[in-house]
Each structure stands twice: as structure tokens, then as C-alpha cells.
Chains A and B, each alone.
Chain A
Amino acid sequence: MIKIDVSEKNGWAVLAVDGQIDLHTSPDIRKELAGRAKAKKARIAIDLTRVSYIDSSGLATFIEAMQKLKKGGGEIALCGLSESVRHVFEVARLDSIFAIHASSDDLK
């Protein structure tokens, strides 16, 4: 089970994800992102503060969203990564590809 709460902050749509991201749960996030990524110049932030685990299907979901958003002149940011989630991004060398913030409060 995964829960996604959507809010607005400084012009960003903030998707706060609660749960563990794997092959079973990532389609829910993909669906939520796909709908929002269609808009031109969309700015989407994913708050991972309440995510303790992510696998490659989760990373693929975020890469796919980033590529769609870039095509439409939009942006994606990730916030609140736990140490273990951040480690997965680092090992895949995706920490330099995504804009990563300590918290959604840092979104400008």
C-alpha cells in the first residue's frame, strides 16, 4: 500500500509519498505523475520523507517523469530522502541527475 498526498508549495505540485516503493506500488506513483507531467512547464516535487525503501522500478518511474517534464519545459525535484533511499540514488549515480532538496520547505 502506498499513499500519495498532493499539495501546492511555491508554484510546485508536491506529491508526498508514504510507503515503500517497489514494482507493486510504483504504478500508482507513475499514474499520478503521468497525469501531471502532461501540463506545459509543470513543476513537480516528490516528497520522500515517509519513504523508507525504493527499488529500480521506483527510480525508473522518476526518470520517466523527469524526461516527460523536460520535454514540456517542466521540472522535477525530490525532497526529504532518507539515508537508505539517498544511497540507492547515489549508487545509481542519479543524485547528480535530479534536483534533490533536504525538505519541501527548500523548494523555490
Chain B
Amino acid sequence: MPEKKPQHTIDLTVPSHPQFLCVTRAVIFQVCHCMRFPEKFVNCIALAVEEAFTNIIKYSYGNDYKKKVVLVLNLYKDRLEIVLKDFGKKVDVKMIKPRALEDVRPGGLGVYFIKKFMDEVTYDVSPEVGTELRLVKYLEKGGCACPGAGKAGAGGGKKKERS
């Protein structure tokens, strides 16, 4: 039974400017290392989050760099949950699909990476304003090294794609 309450939560409000993508990336890298995600996962998780952030800048905010994106990182024993909240144009979930890989052209890979690298991907358009995207990655093995985390549960690379 997955825990319902995270052991730790980190809230981050970031301007919707591409120059701050590196800040988001650095935070994700550090949190993943702190949770002892296997090294091979760390870059993938950071990439998925960054692609989601990039899509918010491009599509929800129409490249308006003066908006805000709220990231909520929920650290569980067995998984990392990242919620990206924007306050722009709502996502049309039906329109979100990656391009076919054989169709080699610029663009269309962001959604592919998000779905490829994360175990759960859920769009919530129910808030009055904007969209909340929830990304979850389970720890393959090992435990969370965060203070007070104790012994980790094993996610075992659980795959539960929802979108």
C-alpha cells in the first residue's frame, strides 16, 4: 500500500523564463541524489521535469516569460512525486501525444520523454485556473537518504502510466 503522506515536501516557485530551467534541473538532480535514485534515473527524471516545464512555457504561457510555475516535490520512501502547477491556458489532454519516432523532425519529443521516463503521468485540469501535471518516479532499489526517511520501500520500477 503506497504511503499517502510524503516524508518531505519541497515547494519551489520559478519564473517561466528558460534561463531558470537550469535552476529547476539543479534542484531535481540534488533531490534525486538525496533520495539515492540510481544514477541512470537521475538525468532521465530531470529531463522529464524540464520537458514538462518547457511545455508550460511554450504552450500554457505562450512564451510569456513573466509568469510563474510552481513545483511541489513530494518525497516518499519509495517514490518522488513532482507536481508542476501553471496558471495559464489549460492543457487539452486529448491533444497531448508524442510524435512517432520514425517521423524524424524537429519537435514533438518532449511528451515522449516525459512518458518514457516517468512511471506515472497525470494531467489535472480541474483547478479553476491552469493545469497541474503530476509526475511520479519510483525508486528501483535502495533507500531514501533524506534525514528521518528511515528504510526505503521498494518500488521495483513499477509502471503505471495513466495518460
Contacts and interface: CB of A to CB of B under 8 A. Distances in A.
Contacts, number: 64
Contact of A55 (B51, B57, B105, B107): B51
Given A20-B25, A91-B116, A56 B105 contact: no
B56 to A, nearest CB: 11
Interface stretch (A8-16, A38-46, A60-68): A60-68
A88 B47 contact: yes
Contacts of B101: 92-93
Given A22-B50, A24-B18, A56-B54, A97 B104 contact: yes
A23 B109 contact: no
Contact of A92 (B17, B40, B57, B109): B109
Contact of B18 (A23, A67, A87): A23
B128 to A, nearest CB: 28
Interface string A53-90: 10111011101100100000000000000001001100
A53 B21 contact: no
A107 interface: no
Nearest to B102: A93
A23 B104 contact: no
Which label, helix, strand, loop or mixed, suits the secondary structure of the A interface? Answer: helix
B22 A22 contact: yes
A48 to B, nearest CB: 14
A55 B113 CA distance: 9
Given A55-B47, A88-B47, A22 B21 contact: yes
Given A57-B54, A60-B107, A87-B43, A92 B21 contact: no
A63 B104 contact: yes
Interface string B74-117: 00000000000000000000000000011011110110110010
B149 to A, nearest CB: 26
A42 B13 CA distance: 44
A92 B105 contact: no
23 contacts: A22-B18, A22-B22, A22-B50, A23-B54, A24-B18, A53-B43, A53-B46, A53-B47, A55-B21, A55-B47, A55-B110, A56-B110, A63-B104, A63-B105, A63-B106, A64-B106, A67-B105, A67-B106, A88-B47, A88-B113, A92-B109, A93-B101, A93-B102
Interface of B: 17-19, 21-22, 25, 40, 43-44, 46-47, 50-51, 54, 57, 101-102, 104-107, 109-110, 112-113, 116
| Cβ-closest 3 pairs across A and B | A24-B18, A60-B106, A56-B109
